[in-house]
Amino acid sequence: MDSVIRDISLFPSGENKIEWVRRNMPLLNGILADFEREKPFAGLTIGLSVHLEAKTAYLCRVLQSGGANMIVTGSNPLSTQDDVAAALVHGNWESTPMHVYALHGCTAEEYEQNIDRVLSHTPDILIDDGGDLVSGVMDRFPALKAHILGGCEETTTGVIRLKAMEKAGVLPFPMMDVNDADCKHLFDNRYGTGQSVFDGIDRTTNLIVAGKTCVVAGYGWCGKGVAMRAKGLGAHVIVTEVDPVKAIEAIMDGFAVMPMQQAAGVGDLFITVTGDRDVITAEHFTHMKNGAILCNAGHFDVEVDVKWLREHARERRDMKPNIEGFRLDEDRWVYVLAEGRLVNLASGDGHPAEIMDMSFAIQALSARFIAQQGRTLEKRLYAVPRDIDEQVARQKLAAMGVKVDTLTPEQAEYLQSWRV
């Protein structure tokens, strides 16, 4: 197999991690069985760029079981787990080896080369997380525009990039907005990010959250989850926002709201999750308390200006893996986790398996939709069909052993009528 990975001998540990998540992803298990029967991707090559850890690896195997030739890379240099990449290249008794181009801790240049290696396989379908595959097609592989059937985008930041392409009239093929399916953002962005961000922070810092002032930048789906869990852990929570409606929502949820300039001086732990750039910069660092800890959970490492710290700090020190200390003046240090990249993936294993079971069920079923309908769709960003969302919700409830009421015919009619 042509692949670029760290070390194939790491495969046993990766295989165990994939087996662990498989045992906790019942929706994907069911989809795998369906795909094995139906083979919706027979003869198709899928290029995938998603944070390459065990849950993603299992998604790759589910798609492969549907007949896809899988070409895989990660979507962030720090979230790739080398043992998991090795397991995919090695394969096992039920999964054939895949082409994988992913290295933990690779440079920006190597990262782009790996995106390009995936695109060099002339994929028919793209599964993207943050938009780097689609951007690679636009910038460096224009000949693929006419070839690719379509694709799926996993996260808010990627959807923003696709919407900008659609608005400019340059979106090259149909894309499915997986992020905005209810069974994705309501659970993954909110509960997944909420829990896994603190998992990443805890295992990296080994410090207490209770009693600290935690500043959460952005009160979107992810920010709501992060603020909720910070409160649950006993932090005093401050939210910063630019959207007045979200700011009111944060106030009514019981949080203090103020500009970052003001929060900078009182926060102990800062978590950015806006999808925006320059959220914490030099003008804020200069106000921060000694010992302030900064991290990011937004898709790109543009929210905290780590570059400025590296260039202007009087001293830089690696405190322990994934904690960089910067001395700003005589005796004032601030600490950045995971280089300002998504702390839950760069310093942890990402979202819990049960959450990614739902997100990746939406991904897998949306990819099948593209395989079946791609040629008939326009070059637009499509919402995930409602029946896919509802199917995933029903299967999740069934997996949880929860039953719900159903509408009687009279109720269904009443809810569609203008007569009372």
Ligand X SMILES: NC(=O)c1ccc[n+]([C@@H]2O[C@H](COP(=O)([O-])OP(=O)(O)OC[C@H]3O[C@@H](n4cnc5c(N)ncnc54)[C@H](O)[C@@H]3O)[C@@H](O)[C@H]2O)c1
Closest distance between ligand X and the C-beta of residue 108, in Å? 18
Q: Which stretch binds ligand X (CB under 6 A): 73-81, 272-280, 317-325, 400-408?
A: 272-280
Are 62 and 360 a contacting pair, CB within 8 Å? Answer: yes
Return d(Cα 125, Cα 148) in angstroms, integer.
6
Helix H or strand E segment including 176: strand 175-177
| Among 275, 340, 348, 374, contact with ligand X (rule: CB under 6 A) | 275
Buried b or exposed e, range 124-141, using 16+ CB within 10 angstroms: bbbbbbbbbbbbbbbeeb
Q: What is the CA radius of gyration of the chain?
A: 22
| Among 56, 69, 79, 240, contact with ligand X (rule: CB under 6 A) | 240
Residue 114 CB neighbour total at 10 angstroms? 23
Q: Helices (DSSP H) in 23-120: which residue ranges?
A: 26-38, 54-65, 82-90, 108-119
Q: Is 219 in the site for ligand X (CB under 6 A)?
A: yes
Q: Is 340 in the site for ligand X (CB under 6 A)?
A: no
Measure the N-to-C terminal CA separation of the chain; round to a whole number of Å.
66
Nearer to ligand X, 61 or 184 (CB): 184
| Among 221, 285, 326, 333, contact with ligand X (rule: CB under 6 A) | 221
| Among 218, 340, 348, 374, contact with ligand X (rule: CB under 6 A) | 218
Q: Which stretch binds ligand X (CB under 6 A): 55-63, 91-99, 133-141, 269-277?
A: 269-277
| Among 44, 54, 85, 279, contact with ligand X (rule: CB under 6 A) | 279
Residue 4 CB neighbour total at 10 angstroms? 17
| Among 90, 299, 368, 396, contact with ligand X (rule: CB under 6 A) | 299
Q: Is 73 in the site for ligand X (CB under 6 A)?
A: no
Return d(Cα 305, Cα 277) in angstroms, integer.
9
Q: Is 149 in the site for ligand X (CB under 6 A)?
A: no
Q: Is 155 in the site for ligand X (CB under 6 A)?
A: yes
Q: 186 burial class (0-12, 13-18, 19+ CB within 10 angstroms)?
A: middle
Q: Is 95 in the site for ligand X (CB under 6 A)?
A: no
Residue of this chain nearest to ligand X (CB atom): 220
Are 118 and 133 a contacting pair, CB within 8 Å? Answer: yes
Closest CA to 304 of 344, 268, 334: 334
Closest distance between ligand X and the C-beta of residue 397, in Å? 23
| Among 242, 266, 381, 399, contact with ligand X (rule: CB under 6 A) | 242
Nearer to ligand X, 10 or 338 (CB): 338
| Among 273, 313, 346, 362, contact with ligand X (rule: CB under 6 A) | 273
Cα dist from 141 to 44, 135, 171, whole Å: 18, 9, 14
Q: Which stretch binds ligand X (CB under 6 A): 23-31, 155-163, 208-216, 406-414?
A: 155-163
The separation between CA 110 and the C-alpha centre of its own chain, rounded to angstroms, equals: 20
- Which residues lie near ligand X (CB under 6 A)? 155-157, 185, 189, 193, 217-223, 240-243, 246, 273-276, 279, 297-299, 342, 344-345
